[in-house]
Amino acid sequence: MLLAAGGTGGHLQPALAVAAEAAVRGARVVVVTTPGQVERVAAEYQTFALELRGFSRKLAPREHLTTLRLLAAAVPGVGRILKEVRPDVAVGGGGFASGPVVALAALRGIPGLALEADAHLGVANRLLRPFVRRVCLSFPIAGLEPPKYVLTGRPLGPAQLAATAAEGREAFALRADLPVVLAFGGSQGAQSINRACIDAFGGRELGFQLVHVCGPRNHDAVRAELEAKGERFERYRLVPYTDRLAAAMAAADLVVARSGGSVAELAALGKPAILVPYPHATADHQRKNARWMVEGGAALLVDDAELGGNLIGRLVADLLGDPRRLAAMAAASAALGRPDATRRVVDEIEKIVTR
């Protein structure tokens, strides 16, 4: 299996979950990604790097020309990879690295499948539609129906699915007798969520425990503001970054977060949430992801422009103070979750190879 993914870690994570499941089933997995992602992959799989970049969303002719030059320069390299690897199937994991690999493979008679990680069809996958036999969707998208499109859910890795509340409490030194709220805004943090947490919870006597992942670049400034408010960090766990986010989610009774791919993880773990979509996400896909949770009864949606300490403080207090409502949201989240998504995607890959 030749797996092409890259551009962002958000594309690579679900693709690597698929790679792990395929490898367990005996597949030989070869990964093509961008140079910046090679380090994450090369220890596990034979890996090739392509120097590519996505098209700018702005009207920037010079940037578009650079993208096209890189794409043209990558074609011979893709040809050499296909000749060396001789894959039975090419899988596009999303991002700009997937396009030329899967398309050129199709032109050489190698069947293809594409993964869509968000609640809209990205540029790469829109371009790949004629070249693949299946597009596996993480979320329902209006107008995209079987047999070409299959709703599998967003692939998650074993570590994400196996996380437990006990593991999370141990990792973040949390007490078992107090509720836990987790707040995060992606790997780099989110300024609006950081601001709201500082204003709502800093220096106050909390009736719950807060795990606040603020982002490495923001940590010193956020901590200084909290200290200025008299925060003693007894029930307020300020974390710059964690590779144990799944464990933190598992321990949480309520999550405050952006609504990127992590919403699938929240649903798989059955967690209720207050979601704050990043307003500048491509095609507003974070709002679409959040709406999926909201319409399922699992989350509340707060616009980034409206987010503030008073609002987030009131919403958290209301939800934690209403255990029946919180339990109903958790049950709704679990009902939306697709913990078997990775298996479903690899099933589709095997069908293509068999055919």
Cα of 324 vs its chain's centroid, Å:
29
Cα of 296 vs its chain's centroid, Å:
19
pLDDT of residue 54: 53
pLDDT of residue 11: 75
Lowest average pLDDT, out of 43-47, 71-75, 117-121, 172-176, goes to 71-75
| Residue 81 backbone dihedrals phi, psi, to 5 degrees | -65, -45
Strand residue runs (E) in 214-349: 236-239, 254-257, 273-275, 299-301
| Residue 5 backbone dihedrals phi, psi, to 5 degrees | -155, 150
The answer on 259 and 246 residing in a single domain is yes
The answer on 192 and 138 residing in a single domain is no
Cα of 347 vs its chain's centroid, Å:
21
Mean pLDDT across the chain, nearest whole number? 91
The answer on 146 and 218 residing in a single domain is no
The answer on 165 and 138 residing in a single domain is no
Lowest average pLDDT, out of 53-67, 85-99, 309-323, goes to 53-67
Closest by CA to 210, choosing from 221, 218, 325, 199, is 199
The answer on 200 and 140 residing in a single domain is no
For residue 21, the domain's CATH number is 3.40.50.2000
Which secondary-structure segment (H or E) carries 69? helix 61-85
What would the pLDDT profile of 147-173 be if each residue is shown by its tens digit?
Answer: 999 999 999 999 899 999 999 999 999
pLDDT of residue 263: 95
Closest by CA to 341, choosing from 162, 156, 160, is 156
Instruction: Supply the range of the domain harboring residue 263.
Output: 161-336
The answer on 261 and 206 residing in a single domain is yes
What would the pLDDT profile of 254-284 be if each residue is shown by its tens digit?
Answer: 999 999 989 999 999 999 999 999 999 888 9
The answer on 348 and 331 residing in a single domain is no
For the chain, the domain total comes to 2
The answer on 348 and 293 residing in a single domain is no
The answer on 94 and 8 residing in a single domain is yes
Among 4-18, 38-52, 286-300, the range of highest mean pLDDT: 286-300
What would the pLDDT profile of 182-235 be if each residue is shown by its tens digit?
Answer: 999 977 789 999 999 999 999 999 999 999 999 999 999 999 999 999 999 999
d(CA 70, CA 79): 15
Which tops the pLDDT comparison, 179 or 10? Answer: 179
What are the residues facing 49 on neighbouring strands? 33
With beta carbons less than 8 A apart as the criterion, state whether 249 and 261 touch: no
With beta carbons less than 8 A apart as the criterion, state whether 63 and 126 touch: no
Share of the chain above pLDDT 70, in %: 92
Which tops the pLDDT comparison, 65 or 312? Answer: 312
Closest by CA to 50, choosing from 82, 14, 10, is 82
pTM, rounded to two decimals? 0.89
End-to-end Cα, the chain, rounded Å: 15
Which tops the pLDDT comparison, 96 or 255? Answer: 255
pLDDT of residue 64: 47
The answer on 133 and 261 residing in a single domain is no
d(CA 99, CA 102): 6
What would the pLDDT profile of 289-316 be if each residue is shown by its tens digit?
Answer: 999 999 999 999 999 999 999 999 999 9
The answer on 137 and 66 residing in a single domain is yes
What would the pLDDT profile of 325-351 be if each residue is shown by its tens digit?
Answer: 999 999 999 999 999 999 999 999 999
The answer on 117 and 75 residing in a single domain is yes
